[in-house]
């Protein structure tokens, strides 16, 4: 059985995108953070993305620039098995990508029953919300970036019910990011 992890970066005031939809503020690099991201990218498993996140990532990770600037992460992102969930996307052209159009919770429940290295949702607030409400997320990893945006989009803005969590561990980075690992509260 595979575990499902959600990984999201938010501002100090809880937004994962600013009012214009920009997420560039979340990419603060330093050697320690780059090492952490590279280690995560090389662990394998399946990436689960929504259409917006997919379209952002496909514009960068398969490019020569990504391979030059961050070869380990680019290799991990490009070689990883990916699922993009979208009702509007016509096709998924990034290598190793499967397009799902309906019954996201049902499809992920089936996928979790299979053997594998795990599934990780990157960004994709609406997907995180749908799967959290279906109680399918095993671990939520929230990176708090030291910036206040004032307004924007939260990863849980469509949540219809409370989601009690328990803190598993935290880790602080020299660039100011702090990652909190949460599991479902019992």
- Distance (Å, whole) CA 11 – CA 23: 10
pLDDT of residue 184: 84
**Domains, the chain, with CATH or none:** 4-184 (3.40.430.10)
Q: What is the mean pLDDT of the chain?
A: 91
The string of pLDDT tens digits covering residues 136-163 is 999 999 999 999 999 999 988 888 988 8
Distances (CA, A) of 24 to 10, 18, 20, 96, 169: 11, 9, 11, 25, 26
Which of helix, strand or coil describes residue 122? strand
Task: Please give the model's pTM, rounded to 2 decimal places.
Answer: 0.89
Helices (H), 42-101: 51-58, 64-69, 71-79
- Angle at the Cα of 40 from the Cα atoms of 36 and 44, rounded to 5 degrees: 160
pLDDT band at 21 (very low <50, low <70, confident <90, very high): confident
């Amino acid at each position: 059985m595979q575990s499902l992890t959600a990984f999201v970066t938010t501002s100090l005031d809880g937004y994962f995108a600013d009012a214009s939809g920009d997420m560039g503020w979340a990419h603060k690099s330093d050697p320690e953070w780059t090492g952490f991201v590279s280690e995560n990218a090389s662990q394998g498993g399946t990436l689960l993305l929504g259409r917006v996140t997919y379209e952002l990532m496909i514009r960068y990770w398969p490019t020569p620039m990504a391979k030059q600037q961050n070869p380990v992460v680019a290799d991990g992102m490009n070689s990883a098995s990916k699922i993009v969930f979208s009702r509007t996307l016509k096709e998924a052209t990034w290598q190793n990508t499967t397009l799902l159009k309906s019954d996201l919770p049902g499809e992920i429940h089936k996928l979790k029953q299979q053997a594998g290295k795990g599934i990780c949702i990157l960004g994709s607030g609406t997907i995180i919300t749908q799967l959290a409400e279906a109680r399918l997320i095993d671990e939520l990893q929230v990176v708090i970036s030291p910036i206040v945006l004032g307004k924007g989009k939260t990863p849980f803005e469509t949540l219809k019910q409370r989601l009690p969590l328990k803190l598993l561990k935290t880790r602080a980075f020299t660039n100011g990011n702090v990652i909190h690992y949460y599991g479902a509260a019992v």
